[in-house]
Chains A and B, each alone.
Chain A
Amino acid sequence: MSEHIDLDLEQIGRTVAQEVAGNLTVEQAEAAEGEDWTGKPAYYFAFLIDEKRERPPGLSLSGRISMRLRDELAARGDYRMPFVRVLGHNNWEKRGRGWAR
């Protein structure tokens, strides 16, 4: 379904994440190509965003960014799934190498 398109993934991710995050700052963005659990090509994004607030009702920030990224990529003809992880300063360095690294 997807064809390879040369995208500046990290920049697209950062832009979309910042739009969704609103007043919160996207301090770092990482993006990597990989394969999902079925071996299908997919994208893995990780964003450093300090939420520092109670979680509002509804989808998490990572869930909302993922949905917007899905739309953004599909609009460019790329149907790979974007999997998103949002971490704050406390956890950013704790993440392992399985996601977007």
Chain B
Amino acid sequence: MGVVGPADLLAAARLLAGAETATDAHFRRAISTAYYALFHHVLAAGATRFLHDGKMDGSAYAVLYRGFSHGRMKTVCEALSLVTLSRGFARLFRRASVSSDMRTFAATFLELQEARHLADYDPLEAFTFEDADAFIGDAETAIMAFDRAESDERDDVLALMLTSGRG
């Protein structure tokens, strides 16, 4: 099975950014890959969490994995990145705010998602090693922050990202 490992993606991003003859194209691909490292980390966490039989090679795992969408994850992260949750999200989460680790994850996810979009599609922008290095490091930091969050909180976030629950 071809599991998309976040560690492998981060390593690939570093290779691209650190290439001796790296150009704007390398930095763009590095930034995009850093976002996907974080993105796939969350997808794997969600599919694993909600599939109790541990069959990572089954269709159910793939269905859950592919059940996440960039847009829905953005909406949830926008809510989580605030110091105080909106009334709707506070009701869904049954808490007024999320942990500092979860906020760090959410805010960084949004940053990386926007950077990835510009890196992939914006011909007017130019990226540098400085940009790529920062985004790769931030992707790694966000992955660690997500993993450090309490499992209950993580479960709530994953469930909300996976469904179309109204915030």
List the interface of chain A (C-beta within 8 A of B).
1, 36-38, 42, 55, 57-63, 66-67, 70-71, 74, 79, 81, 83-88, 90-91, 94-99
Q: In the complex, are the beta carbons of A67 and B74 less than 8 A apart? A: no
Inter-chain CA distance A84–B118, complex, in Å, is: 13
Q: Which of B71, B114, B126 contacts A94 (CB 8 A)?
A: B126
A98 contacts B124, C-beta separation under 8 Å: yes
| Interface flag for B82 (CB, 8 Å) | yes
If A55-B134, A67-B107 are given as contacts, then 17 extra A-B residue pairs at C-beta distance below 8 Å, sorted by A number, are A37-B114, A38-B71, A59-B138, A60-B138, A62-B111, A62-B138, A63-B107, A66-B107, A67-B103, A70-B107, A74-B83, A79-B82, A81-B81, A87-B128, A95-B125, A96-B124, A98-B125
A-B contact pairs, 7 of them (CB 8 A): A37-B113, A58-B141, A59-B141, A67-B81, A91-B131, A97-B124, A99-B118
Q: How far is the CB of A25 from chain B (nearest CB, A)?
A: 17
Which chain A residues lie closer than 8 Å to B104 at the CB level? 59, 67
Contact call A81/B78, Cβ cutoff below 8 A: yes
From A51, which residue of chain B is reached at the shortest CB distance?
A: B130
Q: How many residues of B contact A (CB 8 A)?
A: 33
Q: Does B137 contact A (CB under 8 A)?
A: yes
B residues in contact with A86, CB < 8 Å: 130, 134
Write out the residue numbers on chain B whose beta carbons fall within 8 Å of the beta carbon of A99: 118, 125
Known: A58-B141, A70-B82, A87-B130. A63 touches B124 (CB 8 A): no
